[in-house]
Amino acid sequence: MDVDYLILGGGCAGLGLAVNILHSDLKNKRGLILEGREKYTRDKTWCSWGVYPHQFQSVVSHHWENFTFKSDKNTLSLSSVKHPYQHVNSLDYYQYAQGLINQSDTMTLQMKTRVEKITPEDDFVSVDIGTDIIRAKYVFDGRTPKFPDETLLQGKSGYLLQAFLGCHVRVDKPIFDISTAIIMDSNLSNQDAIGFYYELPFTPYEALIEPTFFFKSFSELKVQFNKEKIYQLIKEYLAKKYHYSGEYTICYEEQDVLPMIDFLPFDKHPHPRIYTIGSAAGLLQPGTGYAFVSIQRYNEELVKRLSQTDFPTPPPGYSDFIKRVDNFVLKKTYYMNSPNQYVDSIIKGAESMSGDMYARFMHNCLTDEDMSAFAKNTSMRLFL
């Protein structure tokens, strides 16, 4: 089989790239997406501030103009009408992309397919999937990257593991304030690990509650982080914050561990005909774990470059400024010893920003005016 564009991995990055191709001058090129899963399910939640008009705006299910940060001593409330905080259900995303692909005569999605070998040639890239050999002019690899052995990373202040268990819960009383997303709340944390609660209220009766913690090793994570303990933490959170003593129903849950590493070299262009995309291209922001906006922006720019020239250079990732911020945040977090200390540091860094500016700051979209404000403000200047 011969194609122009072969996309390895039909997740956020792979399907996002396919949709951008279908909305571009390249829509008549032959494209194939290889995905290992048998079918799509709701397996992830993607959130971001609305700083970038991407191709998936129609599947944003909820948004919040108000967002807060809380510690035991401080509370910071910000608001952004221009860039509200947005929620995307992964299944809605998958199904939207599938619908566009199914309507296309040139793009195909092939499920239950594993890549066995990739061999670059002079005029194409040969990809062995066991049952067939696919030849492609370009390959875009969005498969989850393999990280170095943890023994090489332990003890480095730029390495942490962010672990979370997010539960979409339903209660039998109207207790949630649907106007405000709680980005961080350490005030109710009752364990020593650095972390916070994250809450997205969908209705007065339903919310995503996500205890999130940072660990310095997988062995530490395995001891302190388990589902039963998290379920109890959510119950205590509801009781202390909302005085809710009843039972709650879990409608959906997702668990993940994100390596937060500021010094790994990601190769965005390992061969003239091969590009990495998504987290494989280093688009998971080390200091925050956010990736959705950077993936969408990267995909759109990559398609634009492909339409202009053959063998384009890949788009840039995060700016040097954001890299310095991430490096600072990771190293500072590594040496902290209490959840409230962590959230207090976030509040201190954000308290001089407007809600609009904070949203742009979180997604590498700072304007010249924003950068000027950083240069003039004492609490912000340390990042420059």
Residues 6+ apart with CB under 8 A from 45: 87, 88, 89, 90, 166, 208, 254
Distance CA 314, CA 311 (A): 9
User: Rounded to whole angstroms, how far apart are CA atoms 140 and 69?
Assistant: 38
pLDDT at 383: 52
Instruction: State residue 349's pLDDT score.
Output: 82
pLDDT score, position 189: 60
Task: Say what the pLDDT of residue 147 is.
Answer: 63
Model-level pTM? 0.93
pLDDT at position 21 is 98
**Tell me, what's the pLDDT at 204?**
98
pLDDT at position 187 is 78
Look at residue 372 in the predicted model and tell me its pLDDT: 85
Say if strands 159-170 and 249-261 run parallel, antiparallel, or are unpaired: antiparallel
Q: For position 264, what pLDDT does the model report? A: 58
Q: Give domain 2-62+87-148+262-308's CATH number out of 1.10.10.10, 3.50.50.60, 3.40.50.1820, 3.40.50.720.
A: 3.50.50.60
What per-residue confidence (pLDDT) applies to 221? 85
For the chain, residues with pLDDT lower than 70 are 147-158, 188-193, 262-266, 334-337, 378-384
- Hey, what are 366's tokens? 């700072």
Domain ranges of the chain: 2-62+87-148+262-308
**Quick one: pLDDT at residue 96?**
98
pLDDT of residue 36: 96
